[in-house]
Amino acid sequence: MIPAGFSYVRAGSVEEALDELSRHGGAARPLAGGHSLLPAMKLRRAEPGVLVDIGRLRELSYVRADGDRIAVGALTSHRTLERDPVVAAQVPLLAAAARRIGDPQVRNRGTIGGSLAHADPAADLAGAVLALDGVLVARGPAGVREIPAREFFTGRCRNALAPGELLTEIRLPAAPGRSYAFEKFSRRALDWAVVGVAAQARPGGGVAIALIGMGPTPVRATAVEEALAAGEPAAEAARLAAWGCEPPDDAVASASYRTHLAEVLVTRALAAL
């Protein structure tokens, strides 16, 4: 439980953070709330040579309505997402997912950017952002680029950020008045999801459904979405929840149990919609 040695730098601005990340290359990791990175360091699953502390950069903590989309700063806390009136009115699925994360201490320290960049396949917010067709904004030496959520998660705890890049903003299409659902099964109240489902009604019809805990990355349940679009009853469509997934078979749950959970939770989510 003792991390390897590292150097520590506190960034005073986004530009300073980018300079430090660029200067140290792959040896540097940004530190936001620390609820994902620090435990990994203690277990020596992550051994950065330099920690660039961005946790006090208030310029990256915000929620803004921007036309037909909502912009969320990467350092916005889970607690803010849970309580913010713009999130509640425009993207309530995000608030529902944030509400299920850990306990109040975790939600007050953890950030949406840190959670997404950690890219844990069982992360609640990753499922919500994927179901909402979010876009993640990264800044780096080459400038600013937008990464669709479907392309951001590249493997277990791996993402599409290039060396020296920093996740700065998450952009979500506004979904006022459209139904949504977030279902999650955990062994204990504060645990990561064994399996979770985020579902969002689309404008003009159809449903977007994302699964967490069903593979090396959060995934869209495209077979369910297509079955519903073709007019299949919800119960029949839910049977396809695990189609194309690679559910892990580990000490937490067997692959067959996760497959069963996916069908049950998708059924519940569709009923809630």
Q: Render 103-128 in DSSP notation, one character per residue.
A: -HHHHHH-BHHHHHHHT-TT-HHHHH
Give tens-digit pLDDT for 34-71: 888 998 999 998 999 999 999 999 999 999 998 999 99
Q: What is the pLDDT of residue 134?
A: 98
The residue type at 29: R
Q: Report whether pLDDT(198) > 90.
A: yes
Question: Considering the domain boundaries, does residue 39 fall inside one?
Answer: yes
**What CATH number should be reported for the domain holding residue 31?**
3.30.43.10
Which residue in the block uniquely carries the two structure tokens 């996916």? Answer: 262
The verdict on 156 and 196 lying in the same domain is no
Question: Considering the domain boundaries, does residue 147 fall inside one?
Answer: yes
Q: Report whether pLDDT(143) > 80.
A: yes
The verdict on 64 and 163 lying in the same domain is yes
Q: Report whether pLDDT(273) > 80.
A: yes
What does the pLDDT average to over 111-132? 97
Question: Considering the domain boundaries, does residue 70 fall inside one?
Answer: yes
Domain stop point among 150, 173, 196: 173
Question: Where is average pLDDT lowest: 142-146, 171-175, 186-190?
Answer: 186-190
Question: Considering the domain boundaries, does residue 1 fall inside one?
Answer: no
The verdict on 45 and 146 lying in the same domain is no
Which residue in the block uniquely carries the two structure tokens 């439980």? Answer: 1
The verdict on 188 and 241 lying in the same domain is yes
Question: Where is average pLDDT lowest: 119-123, 186-190, 255-259?
Answer: 186-190
Domain stop point among 173, 197, 224: 173
Query: Which residues are within 8 A (CB) of 270 and not within 5 positions of it... i.e. 6 or more apart?
Result: 181, 199, 207, 228, 234, 237, 238
The 3-state DSSP class for residue 2 equals coil
The verdict on 111 and 166 lying in the same domain is yes
The verdict on 162 and 185 lying in the same domain is no
Instruction: Give the confidence band of 259 by pLDDT, cuts at 50, 70, 90.
Output: very high
Question: Considering the domain boundaries, does residue 2 fall inside one?
Answer: no
Percentage of the chain beyond pLDDT 90 is: 89
Question: Considering the domain boundaries, does residue 188 fall inside one?
Answer: yes
The verdict on 192 and 218 lying in the same domain is yes
**What CATH number should be reported for the domain holding residue 223?**
3.30.390.50
What is the CB-side half-sphere exposure of residue 98 using CA atoms within 13 A?
26
Question: Considering the domain boundaries, does residue 255 fall inside one?
Answer: yes
Query: CB atoms < 10 A from the CB of 17, how many?
Result: 24
For the chain, how many structural domains are there in total? 3
The verdict on 30 and 86 lying in the same domain is no
Q: Report whether pLDDT(116) > 80.
A: yes
Q: Report whether pLDDT(1) > 80.
A: no
- CA-based end-to-end distance of the chain: 43
Give tens-digit pLDDT for 220-256: 999 999 999 999 999 999 999 999 999 999 999 999 9
In terms of phi and psi (left: phi > 0; alpha: psi -120 to 50; beta: otherwise), the region of 164 is left
Query: Which residues are within 8 A (CB) of 172 and not within 5 positions of it... i.e. 6 or more apart?
Result: 69, 70, 72, 91, 94, 129, 132, 133, 134, 135
**What CATH number should be reported for the domain holding residue 70?**
3.30.465.10
Question: Considering the domain boundaries, does residue 66 fall inside one?
Answer: yes
Q: How far apart are CA 248 and CA 55, in angstroms?
A: 33
Phi/psi for 173 (5° steps) reads: -60, 135
Phi/psi for 124 (5° steps) reads: -60, -50
Cα-based angle 117, 118, 124 (whole degrees, multiple of 5): 95
The verdict on 162 and 102 lying in the same domain is yes
Domain stop point among 151, 173, 195: 173
Burial class (CB in 10 A: 0-12, 13-18, 19+), 209: buried
Q: Report whether pLDDT(26) > 80.
A: yes
The verdict on 155 and 201 lying in the same domain is no
Query: CB atoms < 10 A from the CB of 14, how many?
Result: 16
Cβ–Cβ < 8 Å for 11, 17? yes
Q: Report whether pLDDT(96) > 80.
A: yes
The verdict on 163 and 67 lying in the same domain is yes
Q: How far apart are CA 76 and CA 84, in angstroms?
A: 10
Structural tokens at position 2: 């003792």
The verdict on 141 and 167 lying in the same domain is yes
Task: Tell me the pLDDT of the chain averaged across its residues.
Answer: 95
Domain coverage including residue 268:
180-272
Cβ–Cβ < 8 Å for 188, 172? no
